[in-house]
Each structure stands twice: as structure tokens, then as C-alpha cells.
Amino acid sequence: MPGTTEPRTVAAQLRDVLPDLPRAEQRVARALLAGYPTAGLEPLATVATLAQSSPATVLRLAYRLGFQGYPELQQALKRETQQRYSSPLTQYGEPTTEEGTGHDDGVLGRSRRVLLEATAMTFDQLPEGELVKAAGLLADPARRVSAAGGRFSTILAHYLIAHLHQLRPHATYIAGSTADHAAHLLDMGRRDVLVLFDYRRYQRETIAFARAAASRNVKIILFTDPWLSPAAAVADVVLPGQVRSPSPFDSLTPAVALIETLVAAVVEQLGETGRARVAKYDQMADDVLREEDTDPQAVTP
């Protein structure tokens, strides 16, 4: 699809190669991901010390990722850092047509093109293994699931939980305040799965929640952008999505597509158990409505 040639982030490349790396290079990759992206902006010797490795090992990893050396890897990280903290105000100055493409077909055509391309790129770059792992955690009946997001992405957490309510028990939406996070942390442990949504201009509350939950052995599934929320350092599963938009505000359209794909994977894993619960859910809803219709105390506005 035209326009989908945007380079993959260094983080995405590191996650791709991580399982197959020699042990010394794995330590370097994990060190870079744990402090992403700023760890990679440190001098070569500092990264080597941080990873308890050697400068030569850091260089080998840079070459493995396709860079001509460590300085080129750092340049890629610097470009990512600028994009990572981009705000709607800085994006107001960006052109609304794509230079060199000849596209100038108004907001409807531009939106169709940009959103379709962003969604396609999200799926093209998503490791299927991460999706399957996330679905396995959400389909596990022995685990409790909760979800939380930020100022805008909280609607994604609510959307996911609304689906999971119908498919499995013990699915909880958590509001975004620090007090709400603390209240839920009191009862969280290794049987819990926490799904977090955190996109650029990352929220301190969400990152702190992720770190606190990880310290209690909670499994964490993170939905984020290609530049990765700092919460990725403690996440068990990371599901990045593009945020390109026809407006100055980042799009959640690819994230919604990811959620619906994850729900489809959960449905597959649950099989007949999920179908039976949906049937019970529908019956319960019908019973409640029937009760309301026959209640003499009910008042019709």
C-alpha cells in the first residue's frame, strides 16, 4: 500500500531479533529496551557497562540491526525521540497533503488514505507471537483481568473490558487516577493480568502503575505507539500501533483494530466456553429487560 514505507523503530527491531540473539547481545538489547530510547543515546562504553558486556558486543548488535555502526543507531534513536514527544501543537504546522504523491483530495480522501495506511502498517509490523501470548493471558480462567488507560486512551480500556465481560469472568475497568490505581494494587498479585494503554506524551500515572504492578508479579499487556511508552520496560507483552492521523491529534483507529483482533484471538482460545458465556449474557440481558417491563414501580420518562 502506498505510503507505508515508514522505517520501523529500533525498539521493534530489537524485539524481533531478541529471542535469537547470542546471550551477550541479548543483554545489550534488554538494556537498550529497559531504558528506551535514552539508554541508546549514551556513549558506547556506557551501554556496554550497563549491559555487563563489551563495546564490541554493542557494535555487533548495531550491525545486526542493519546500521553501519553505533553512531548511525544513535541518529535513528534521536529522530525517534523527536517524534516520541511530538505534541498536537507541533503537528499543526505539518502539510495536509503528501508531498510528491499528487494527493490533494480533501479531508475525506486524506483521512481514508492515512487511517488505512496506519492500520495496515500496524498489522504488518505486529509480531504474531505477541498477539497470541496476550490472548492466552486474557483467556486464562485462573487469572483476573483489569485494564486502564490515559486521558484519551481510557476509552480503549473501557472498550476492551466491555468485550471481555461477555467472554469471561473477573474483568475490571480501572479509572485513571492514582487513588484508583493504588486501591487495585492492594489486591493484585501473580494471578492478575493488567492491560495498559499509554501513547506518546506518556502519562506518569500509567507508567508508575505499570512499575508498581510489575513489582507484585502482575502480568502486563501494554498497548502503545511505535516509540514505546516507558512502561514497555516492565511489560510482558507489547502491542504497538501507529498513530498517524489526518489531524494534528494522534489517531486511536489502529489501536481499536488491534483490540478487536485481540478479542477475536481470545474468542478462538476460549472456544465453546466463550460461546456458552455469551449465550448466558444474552439470556441475562433479556431477563433484566423483561423484569423492567413488568415492574409496576418502573416509571417511563
The upper half-sphere exposure of residue 22, i.e. CA atoms within 13 Å in the direction of its Cβ, equals: 8
Give the model's pLDDT for residue 4.
44
The domain spans of the chain are 8-84, 128-281
C-alpha cell at 222: 501494554
Give me the CATH topology for the region 128-281.
Rossmann fold (3.40.50)
Q: What is the pLDDT of residues 81-137, one digit of tens each?
A: 777 766 655 555 555 544 445 556 789 999 999 999 999 999 998 888 899 999 999
Angle between helices 23-34 and 10-17 (to 10 degrees): 150
Confidence tier at 3 by pLDDT (50, 70, 90): very low
Give the model's pLDDT for residue 296.
61
Query: 257 near 120, Cβ under 8 Å?
Result: no
Query: 222 φ, ψ to 5°?
Result: -115, 125
Compute CA distances 236 → 129, 147, 189, 222, 264, whole Å.
Answer: 12, 15, 14, 8, 20
Q: What is the pLDDT of residues 209-218, one digit of tens each?
A: 999 999 999 9
Please tell me whether the peptide bond between 37 and the residue prior to it is cis, using omega within 30 degrees of 0.
yes
Give the model's pLDDT for residue 287.
83
Query: 58 near 47, Cβ under 8 Å?
Result: yes
Query: 200 near 250, Cβ under 8 Å?
Result: yes
Query: 193 φ, ψ to 5°?
Result: -120, 125
CA distance 202 to 182: 19
Give the model's pLDDT for residue 92.
59
CA–CA–CA angle 51, 71, 67 (5° rounding): 85
Give the model's pLDDT for residue 216.
97
| pTM over the 0.85 mark | no
Q: What is the pLDDT of residues 140-180, one digit of tens each?
A: 999 999 999 998 999 999 999 999 999 999 999 998 788 99
Give the model's pLDDT for residue 285.
84
Mean pLDDT of the chain: 88
Whether the per-residue pLDDT at 46 is higher than 60: the answer is: yes
Confidence tier at 196 by pLDDT (50, 70, 90): very high
Give the model's pLDDT for residue 102.
53
Radius of gyration of the chain (CA): 22
CATH number of 8-84: 1.10.10.10
Share of the chain above pLDDT 70, in %: 87
Whether the per-residue pLDDT at 66 is higher than 60: the answer is: yes
CA distance 73 to 280: 54
CA distance 50 to 60: 16
Give the model's pLDDT for residue 280.
92
Beta carbons within 8 Å of 76's beta carbon, 6+ residues apart: 7, 10, 67
Residue ranges of alpha helices (H) inside 128-243 are 128-139, 154-167, 178-185, 204-215
CA–CA–CA angle 211, 238, 240 (5° rounding): 120
